[in-house]
Amino acid sequence: MSLSTKIRLALVDDHSLVRDGIKALLSVVHNVTVVGEAENGARAMEMVEQCKPDLLLVDINLPDINGLVLTRKIREKHPSLRVLVLSMHDSKEYVSESLRAGASGYVLKNSPSREIVAAIEAIATGGTFYSAEIAQKLLLEDGESSELTPRESQVLYKMAQGLNNKEMARELNISVRTVETHRLSIRRKLKIDKPAALVKYAIDHGIISSQPH
C-alpha cells in the first residue's frame, strides 16, 4: 500500500473518549479513514470481518480479553491485517509480547499526535514503528552489547523508530547508500532479514548499549 491510497483503519479501545479523540485526530489526515471501532475483543473480531480494515489500532487493556491475545487471534485469521498497539504501558515485556503476537508497532497513548500519525503511515506501508520513548528506553536499558559498530547501532535505533533509508541518512548525516550498507551488515551479523524480527531481536537482546540523545 502507498500513502496515496486511503488507509482503512479500525479502533479497538474500551474508552469511547479515546476512540473519539483518535477519530478527531485522524479526521484531518487526508489518507486515513476510520471504518470501524470496537470496545472489546468479541466486537473487534466481528468488526474486522465486517469492515475489512487495512490496519487495526489496539489497546492492551480490554474488558474481555487481553489486547495482545486479540492481536494474535486476529493475525492468525487475517495475516495481511497490520496491527498497531496503542497503550499506556511502557514495559519491555509488553512490547516484546506485542511483537510475538504479530503487531508491527507500539506507541504510547501519551505520544504526540504526529507520532501516532507517523506510526499509522509507516505500518500501513509495510514498515514498523515504535514511539521514540519506547525505542530509546527499551533499546538502551540492557547492558548486553553486540558485534554491531556504533554507526550500525545508530542505524538500528532509527529502524526501530520506523524511519526509512532517506530519513535515516538525513538524521545521521550520511548517504542513503551508506545507510543501505549498514542495514545489510546488520542483517548479516544478526542473521535476521525481516524488519519486524530485527526490531524484536534488538528489544529482546538489548543489542544497543548506548545511543546519543
Q: What is the pLDDT of residues 28-47, one digit of tens each?
A: 988 899 999 999 999 999 99
Output the pLDDT for position 143. Answer: 43
Q: Where are the beta strands (DSSP E) in 39-180?
A: 55-58, 82-87, 105-108, 129-130
Question: How many Å is the maximal CA-CA distance in the chain?
Answer: 49
Output the pLDDT for position 45. Answer: 96
All domains of the chain in start order, with CATH: 7-130 (3.40.50.2300), 136-205 (1.10.10.10)
Output the pLDDT for position 161. Answer: 77
Phi and psi angles of residue 71, each rounded to the nearest 5 degrees, phi first: -60, -45
Q: What is the DSSP string of 171-195?
A: HHTS-HHHHHHHHHHHHHHHT--SH
Output the pLDDT for position 199. Answer: 77
pLDDT at 124 over 60: yes
Cβ proximity of 79 and 104 under 8 Å = no
Higher pLDDT, 160 or 169: 169
Based on C-alpha coordinates, what's the Rg of the chain?
17
pLDDT band at 155 (very low <50, low <70, confident <90, very high): confident
Nearest residue to 12 via CA among 40, 48, 35: 40
pLDDT band at 54 (very low <50, low <70, confident <90, very high): very high
